[in-house]
Amino acid sequence: MKKLLVGFALINSFMFSTLAFADGDVVTQPADKEFVQETYDYCVSMQTSEEIDKQSLLECLNSELEYYEYTGFASIEQALSFAKVADDESK
């Protein structure tokens, strides 16, 4: 009986530590500038109207970045500034 209780306690502690780790925040890293530019271009191509909706563009960009565990942007202007620096550095 004692072995059963010890085994149960060990299994519970393992399960709870695994759940606590799984619920933790995913550590993200900044994306490289070329990836941001490519993702931005992709999201622009996904726009259905002639006029670009900045909010849906930002949501698309951040969604793609989140999928690849990269840090998102607070505004589309911030993303454009980040991507423009990449374009300037490549010239």
pLDDT in tens, the chain (91 residues): 555 544 445 555 555 544 444 445 556 788 999 999 999 999 999 988 888 899 999 999 999 999 999 999 999 999 989 887 644 444 4
Structure tokens at 66: 């989140």
Place of tokens 């949501």: 59
Identify whether the C-beta of residue 34 lies closer than 8 Å to the C-beta of residue 89: no
